[in-house]
C-alpha cells in the first residue's frame, strides 16, 4: 500500500487519448514526472512479467490490466477521474480474476497481457498528432483496427505496435517505444504478432 504514495500522485495531469492502451498511458504519465515507466509501475504489484523482443527490448503492444484498487492508483497518478479513464481506455474496466478476487484484492495489482487478447490489435499513434494533443514527444499506443491505420491529417501510416524491433522499427519510433512500452503476456492469446493477416507481414513504409 505504501508504494501507492511513492510518487506524489496527481501532482501532474496526464489525460488519456481515446482508445489508448493503459500501458501507454502509464508510460506517458511516467514521462510527465520525468520517471522511467519501470519506476512508476512499482505503484502496482505486478503478478507476472512482461515478455520481451529477442533483442531484449520490451514489446510496445503489451497491455496492463488493473484491479479495482489499481485503477484508483492510476486515476490519482494521472490526476483524472476514474470515469474519464474508463471512457478512454478500452482495457481499463477489463476484469482479471487473478487480481480482482481473493485475499489481496484490496492491493493495487496489475497483470501484463497481450493487447490483442485484451481489447484488440494495437498500433502506434501518429507521432505528430500525439505531440499536438499531449505536448509530449512520445509515441502513444492505441487500439486501432487495421482499416483505420492512417493519419489523414499527416498522411502517415500507423505501424503495428508489435512491429518494434527489426525492419519495422521505423526511424525513431522503434527506439523510443522499445523500452518504454511494455511486454506481452504470451499466455494471453499466443504471440500477439501472429494474429490476423499482415500482423507481421510487410507493412507500407512510413513516408
Binding residues for Zn ion, rule: CB under 5 A, are: 126, 128-129, 151, 153-154
Q: Do 84 and 16 contact (CB within 8 A), yes or no?
A: yes
Task: Select 46 or 129, whichever has its Cβ closest to Zn ion.
Answer: 129
Task: Select 131 or 189, whichever has its Cβ closest to Zn ion.
Answer: 131
Per-residue b or e along 150-166, where b marks 16 or more CB atoms closer than 10 Å to that residue's CB: ebeeeebbbbbbbbbbe
Minimum Å gap between C-beta 153 and Zn ion is 5
Minimum Å gap between C-beta 158 and Zn ion is 9
Task: Select 151 or 189, whichever has its Cβ closest to Zn ion.
Answer: 151
Q: Angle 22-32/68-78 helices, nearest 10 degrees?
A: 40
Q: Do 187 and 135 contact (CB within 8 A), yes or no?
A: no
Minimum Å gap between C-beta 103 and Zn ion is 46
Instruction: Give residue for cell 478500452.
Output: 90
Q: Do 181 and 164 contact (CB within 8 A), yes or no?
A: yes
Task: Select 42 or 132, whichever has its Cβ closest to Zn ion.
Answer: 132
Minimum Å gap between C-beta 149 and Zn ion is 12
Q: Which residue has the closest beta carbon to Zn ion?
A: 126
Task: Select 39 or 153, whichever has its Cβ closest to Zn ion.
Answer: 153
Minimum Å gap between C-beta 154 and Zn ion is 4
Angstrom distance (rounded) from CA 99 to CA 45:
10
Angstrom distance (rounded) from CA 63 to CA 3:
21
Secondary structure class of 157 (helix, strand, coil): strand
* DSSP 8-state symbol, 125: P
Amino acid at each position: 500500500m505504501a508504494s501507492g504514495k511513492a510518487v506524489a500522485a496527481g501532482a501532474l495531469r496526464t489525460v488519456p487519448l481515446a482508445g489508448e492502451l493503459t500501458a501507454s498511458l502509464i508510460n506517458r504519465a511516467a514521462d510527465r514526472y520525468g520517471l522511467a515507466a519501470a519506476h512508476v509501475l512499482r505503484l502496482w504489484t505486478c503478478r507476472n512479467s512482461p515478455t520481451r523482443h529477442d533483442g531484449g527490448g520490451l514489446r510496445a503492444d503489451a497491455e496492463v490490466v488493473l484491479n479495482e484498487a489499481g485503477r484508483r492508483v492510476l486515476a490519482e497518478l494521472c490526476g483524472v477521474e476514474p470515469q474519464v479513464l474508463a471512457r478512454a481506455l478500452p482495457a481499463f474496466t477489463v476484469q482479471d480474476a487473478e487480481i480482482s478476487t481473493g485475499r489481496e484484492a484490496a492491493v493495487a495489482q496489475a497483470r501484463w497481457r497481450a493487447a490483442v487478447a485484451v481489447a484488440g490489435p494495437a498500433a502506434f499513434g501518429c507521432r505528430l498528432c500525439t505531440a499536438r494533443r499531449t505536448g509530449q514527444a512520445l509515441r502513444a499506443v492505441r487500439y486501432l483496427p487495421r482499416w483505420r491505420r492512417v493519419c489523414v491529417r499527416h498522411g502517415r501510416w500507423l505501424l503495428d505496435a508489435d512491429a518494434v524491433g527489426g525492419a519495422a522499427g521505423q526511424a525513431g519510433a522503434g527506439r523510443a517505444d522499445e523500452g518504454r512500452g511494455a511486454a506481452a503476456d504470451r499466455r494471453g492469446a499466443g504471440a500477439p504478432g501472429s494474429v490476423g493477416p499482415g500482423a507481421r507481414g510487410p507493412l507500407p513504409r512510413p513516408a
